[in-house]
Structures are given as structure tokens and as C-alpha cells.
Amino acid sequence: MRIPAHSVCAAIREDIVAGVHARGSRLTEEVLARRYGVSRVPVREALRTLEAEGFVVTRRHAGACVAEPTGQEAADLLEMHVLLEPLGAARAAQRRTEAHLKVLRGLVRLGRERAGQGSSDDLRSLDGWFHDTLAQAAGSPALSTTLAQLRHKIAWMYVTGTPADPVADWAERGGIVDAIARGDDARAHILAAQHTQRTTTSHRLRPVGADMGVRNPQQAVNIAGPQN
């Protein structure tokens, strides 16, 4: 079965964000192909995409390497996120579908329940799902893609703290969804801006060399998924 390049790209990106592939380290097609169980062709395509996204750079005599972003570049990402996340919420108020609203309301309900139970791992997953759905509800593939890339890069460069009051954090999201449901783009923008500004203050630059993963970059992984 041929594994598409976008699946290989997602797997390499995930490992870069997790620190499995350290900043500045070489990314050789042969090693990556062996690790992800694919040919070198989808690896080559994935590296091109990751270079366009800023996760990979090509260096003379070294080839593809994991990028080493500066502190200023990291700060710029947070500023872009603070500007674009509210824009996405405002567009969602104008363009969302009933299906989007149903998912967003369900996520807020689950988020508030899990926050009350102290389920931090569940909240992290729900957070990503919430923001992905919110971006999709904006009805702009370009904006959705940009926001997804920003979130990946911020997770790569920053340690994100947990909210001091997770219940209140999800209540804020509920307010954003209510504004979107009413079609109140101005209110959705204001609430999303306040929420994003507040959550951004808990971000701390990740020390160079630190990682969130424990996997060996030489170890093979399966990205093919279940076989029928």
C-alpha cells in the first residue's frame, strides 16, 4: 500500500514538534524512509512541504535539517496567533454551519465536564479539536491552514502552561461559541482576542535541546494505520 506524502509529512512534523528530531539535526531521506516504512519519494515530498512551513531548512553540504528558529521568530508566531485566532472566530460567526455549531457546543460541554473532573490529558485533546473546528467554521482554507501551522510551531517552540481555572477557561470558549451562534462577529472577535491574549501569557520558550518525546529517531514507526 502506498502511503501518501501528506501522511509522511504529518508524521515527521509530529516528531519534530515532539523533539524526536532535534533542532539543527540532519534529516536524511534514507533514514526517514526506513523509520516511517515508506520509499524515499514521499519523504522527499514531505521535506519540501516542511521546508515551506518553516520546520526544515536546506543547508549546503548538509542537506535537509531541522530548523533552528530564533527567539524573535518565536515571538512573531505568538503575535500572529493573537491576531489571526480572533479573525477566525469573527469569520466563523459569518460562515459557520449548523454542523460546526453542533461540534463546537459538544466540545465546550465535554471541556467543562472534563475540567471539573481535572482530566488534563483529555483537555489537551479537546483544546486541539476545538481550535481546529473553529478554524474550519471560518470557511477559509487558507486561514485554517495558517492557524494549524501556527499551533504546530507554537507547540514546538513553547511550553504551554495549563489554565489556572480550566472550568473558567472552557466557559470563555462557550461565550465565543454563543457569539458565533448569534452571528455576532464583533463579539466573537472580542471574546476570542481576550481568550487568546490570556492563554498566550502562560507560554514559555522551550529550552533548546529539550523535547517532549522519548522515541529514538532511528526507531521504525508505523504510519500506515490499520489494514483491512
- Name the residue ranges covered by the structural domains of the chain: 5-66, 71-205
| pLDDT tens, residue by residue, 108-146 | 999 999 999 887 778 889 999 999 999 999 999 999 999
- Within 10 angstroms of residue 32's Cβ, the number of other Cβ atoms is 23
Residue 222 buriedness (CB in 10 A; 0-12 / 13-18 / 19+): exposed
Q: 71-205 sits in which CATH class? A: mainly alpha
Q: Give residue 219's pLDDT band: very low, low, confident or very high (50, 70, 90).
A: low
Task: Give me the residue label for grid cell 486541539.
Answer: 128
Residue 226 buriedness (CB in 10 A; 0-12 / 13-18 / 19+): exposed
| pLDDT tens, residue by residue, 1-13 | 567 788 999 999 9
For the record, the C-alpha cell of 117 comes out as 473532573
Q: Is the pLDDT of residue 70 over 60?
A: yes
Our separate counts of H helices and E strands in the chain read 9, 4
| pLDDT tens, residue by residue, 177-208 | 999 999 999 999 999 999 999 999 889 998 87
Pick the CATH number of 5-66 from 1.10.10.10, 1.10.645.10, 3.90.1150.10, 2.160.10.10: 1.10.10.10
* Long-range CB contacts (within 8 A, 24+) of 132-135: 133/100, 133/103, 133/104, 133/107, 134/88, 134/89, 134/92, 134/104, 134/176, 135/88
For the record, the C-alpha cell of 199 comes out as 492563554
